[in-house]
């Protein structure tokens, strides 16, 4: 092979490798994690998913957030769905009392060699329930016990309500975790139709449907109702 031809081939290969390297250069996500009062949260991790299913193990997980709530994670270019979590137990699996979650996934697009930004607010279900209750005007208090199939009280469960029977990751209204007596309190607007249920997993498993339908309650401020829990 002639030296000139060999040089041209080498230059072509180098150009291809250079282009490939540039195309696959990673980007990064710079995020900040806050609590419901706007204060920075230490120790939160960002879980990133390449598809719409955020109930499986994450494709990428960030380091923990620092004392200012800041976290940076390097990622291949692409579109992601991201949530922030603080878990006391295993890295994956449902949240339990004391764990915090940012709710519905945030869509993030990471470009090659560029930095994307996102903010997350993490809360436990008590905080989420209180925040959403404060955003509603006149409410009615639902209360009672969460029971298993044998009629026994269920601890560490919660009641939820949604305007749709098929529930998303974070329902519109939630109670706090139940105690050993299985008692819950749930505050709903007095008007409108809602679907109620109870569960021990947060966020809810895929395909969960509410079990009780309740309509408008004009003139009422207090409704007693026991709910059956779905245990997974």
pLDDT at res. 64: 94
Q: Which two tokens stand for residue 130?
A: 């209180």
What are the structural domain ranges in the chain?
Answer: 26-121, 125-230
Predicted pLDDT at 136: 56
Look at the pTM and tell me if it is higher than 0.85: no
* Tens-place pLDDT, residues 9-52: 555 555 555 544 445 689 999 999 998 888 999 999 999 999 88
Nearest to 147 by CA among 138, 155, 139, 136: 155
CATH class of domain segment(s) 26-121: mainly beta
Top CATH class, 125-230: mainly beta
- Residue ranges for the chain with pLDDT beneath 50: 4, 8, 19-22, 232
The Cα 28–Cα 112 span in angstroms is 8
| C-alpha–C-alpha distance, residues 230 and 83, integer Å | 24
């Amino acid at each position: 092979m002639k030296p000139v031809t060999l040089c041209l081939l080498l230059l072509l290969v180098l150009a291809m490798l250079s282009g490939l390297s540039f195309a696959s250069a990673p980007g990064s996500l710079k995020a900040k994690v806050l609590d419901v009062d706007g204060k920075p949260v230490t120790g939160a991790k960002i879980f990133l998913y390449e598809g719409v299913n955020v109930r499986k193990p994450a494709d990428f997980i960030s380091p923990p957030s620092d004392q200012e709530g800041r976290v940076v994670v390097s990622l291949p270019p692409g579109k992601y769905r991201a949530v922030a979590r603080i878990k006391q137990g295993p890295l994956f699996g449902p949240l339990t009392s004391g764990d915090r979650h940012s709710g519905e996934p945030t869509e993030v697009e990471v470009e090659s060699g560029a930095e994307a930004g996102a903010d997350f607010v993490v809360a436990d279900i008590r905080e989420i329930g209180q925040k959403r209750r404060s955003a509603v005007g006149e409410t009615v208090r639902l209360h009672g016990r969460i029971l298993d199939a044998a009629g026994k009280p269920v601890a560490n469960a919660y009641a939820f309500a949604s305007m749709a029977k098929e529930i998303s990751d974070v329902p519109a209204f939630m109670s706090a975790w139940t105690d050993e007596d299985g008692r819950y309190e749930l505050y709903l607007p007095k008007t409108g139709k809602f679907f109620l249920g109870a569960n021990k997993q947060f966020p809810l498993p895929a395909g969960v449907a509410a079990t009780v339908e309740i309509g408008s309650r004009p003139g009422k401020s207090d409704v007693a109702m026991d709910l059956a829990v779905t245990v997974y």
